[in-house]
Amino acid sequence: MEAPELLRVWVLAAVALGGSLATLPDHHVLPDHHVSTETGAIFVHELERELFQEAFLAGREDDSAAAPITFQAHLRDHPDLPRWLRYIQRNPHQPGYLYGCPTAAEVGTHAIEVLAYNRGTYETVAQRLVVTVVPAPGKGFTGSPPYQGEFLVGNRDVEELLPAEARETFVEAAAGVWERDDVRVINVTSALDRGGRVPLPIEGLKEGVYVKVGSGGPFSACLASAASPRSRFHCGLGQQPLASCYDTFAPRFAVRWCNLTLLQVWPTPVATGPAWGSGVLEEGGDFQPPTEAPPRDLLPGYLVTLLVPLAVAVLLCLLLGHLMCCRREGVQKRDLETSDIQLVHHTTIHGDTEELRHMATSRDVPRPLSTLPMFNVRTGQRANPMPASPDGARVPLLPP
């Protein structure tokens, strides 16, 4: 290839590479967002599409706000979310939700990496969500309500009960049945996470949501009767459970009373860790090194370790030698214990065998024909090589 043509190829490749780089999607990074939550209470954070949509439209004249956006979230430097946190987004045209209920073991700071992906323009927007989990107010306890009840709502999906307005409406209905004013939502879980089946694609069928609420007061008589063994018996027969009060959930929330679960949780004290100092001695203080360990006499342990296996080995050798050397019968002892007739019989057999072997070595028999050097296999003619005559080598083996 000539030099002008090679230069032209390089120029075209550079132009094509520049065009491809110019069409690569942009990546934007939003400032960190800090939120806090308490242990024993539900945490819900909505990933607003409008916030990320503004970042997608920054520097462009396109004002379309209906672009499909998919969110991805994971713990920083980890491939997945923390075990107490869940994420859900029904479709790219709806917001995403991060929700969960932290416990005392999750107290601290959790950095969540959120990545928004524009499925239309292939742009991405990243944001770091810093979640600070603090202990619930209390005198050294976890902060969870002592009385907790879990309701299964059959006509809702999990994302429909995550907004604050829906949770407040459910709390009002639960307070009417509980007959308490301090009812609060502890956790929200999809029925699919509890082993439920995906509903058929029919309008009106929902996945179902487990909503756990708690209160500082005991359960009402209505809740106690709905969770009684007699009520469970009616549910096993396919009948309606016992309820002595008005269902304040209907018609907004279709609560399945046969799945009602009541728990009484006793608060457990939180173990306090050691108080660490600054590591600097106070003024005028002296460092007190640890005392030296007292000298130890290692000779008894050494002797036991060395002499005990040696003594066991010597005893085993003596036992083995006694069995092999001192327990042998011997020829004389065997002959003394054997009868004379048996000894004579054995001696006679031995002598006869030796005599037959001697006779077999001294007898003279003709050699087999097949071993003779001059033997015709086809005719059977042979020439005796022993008394060979001067003309023996010229005797023909085959007839002329």
CA–CA separation, 113 vs 81, rounded Å? 9
What's the pLDDT tens digit per position in 165-181? 999 999 999 998 888 88
Q: What is the DSSP string of 289-348?
A: PPPPPPP---HHHHHHHHHHHHHHHHHHHHHHHIIIIIS---HHHHHHHS-HHHHHHHHH
Instruction: For CA atoms 337, 341, 344, 348, give the dihedral sign.
Output: negative
Whole-number Cα distances in Å, 19 to 9, 16, 137, 211, 388: 15, 5, 59, 53, 111
What is the band of 19 on the pLDDT scale with cuts at 50, 70, 90?
Answer: very low
Instruction: Confirm if 85 and 103 have CB atoms less than 8 A apart.
Output: no
Query: What residues contact residue 375 under an 8 Å CB cut-off, 6+ apart?
Result: 369, 381, 382
What is the band of 141 on the pLDDT scale with cuts at 50, 70, 90?
Answer: very low
Return the H-helix or E-strand segment holding 86.
Answer: strand 85-88
| pLDDT for residue 158 | 92
CB atoms within 10 A of CB 211: 25
Q: How many residues are listed for the chain in this entry?
A: 400
pLDDT above 50 (res 288) = yes
| pLDDT for residue 28 | 84
3-state SS, residue 272: coil
pLDDT > 90 in the chain, percent:
28
Instruction: For CA atoms 240, 242, 243, 244, give the dihedral sign.
Output: positive
Give the helix, strand, coil percentages of the chain, each rounded to 5.
35, 20, 45
| pLDDT for residue 140 | 42
* CB burial of residue 128 (10 Å; 0-12, 13-18, 19+): middle
CA–CA separation, 94 vs 333, rounded Å? 105
Instruction: Kindly report the pTM of this predicted structure.
Output: 0.58
Determine the average pLDDT of the residues in 88-117. Answer: 91
Token pair for 130:
């810093």
Helices (H) and strands (E) in the chain, counts: 8, 12
Instruction: Confirm if 195 and 233 have CB atoms less than 8 A apart.
Output: no
Instruction: For CA atoms 208, 212, 217, 221, give the dihedral sign.
Output: positive
Instruction: Confirm if 66 and 93 have CB atoms less than 8 A apart.
Output: yes
| Nearest residue to 211 via CA among 250, 182, 171 | 171
* CB burial of residue 253 (10 Å; 0-12, 13-18, 19+): buried
Q: Position of tokens 């009373």? A: 257
| pLDDT for residue 355 | 83
pLDDT above 70 (res 225) = yes
pLDDT above 90 (res 209) = yes
What's the pLDDT tens digit per position in 309-367? 999 999 999 999 888 887 776 777 777 778 888 888 888 888 888 888 887 776 666 65
Higher pLDDT, 6 or 138: 138
pLDDT above 90 (res 114) = yes
The DSSP code for 382 is B
CA–CA separation, 343 vs 398, rounded Å? 62
Average model confidence (pLDDT) across the chain: 79
Query: What residues contact residue 387 under an 8 Å CB cut-off, 6+ apart?
Result: none
**Domains assigned to the chain:** 27-134 (2.60.40.10), 147-264 (3.30.70)
| pLDDT for residue 384 | 57
Determine the average pLDDT of the residues in 228-233. Answer: 88
**Phi, psi at 104, each rounded to 5°:** -65, -25
Determine the average pLDDT of the residues in 367-383. Answer: 58
What's the pLDDT tens digit per position in 245-259? 778 888 889 898 888
Q: Please, how many CA atoms are within 13 Å of residue 194, restricted to the half-sphere of its CB?
A: 13
What is the band of 139 on the pLDDT scale with cuts at 50, 70, 90?
Answer: very low
What's the pLDDT tens digit per position in 20-70? 433 445 778 888 999 999 888 899 999 988 888 888 876 565 555 578 899
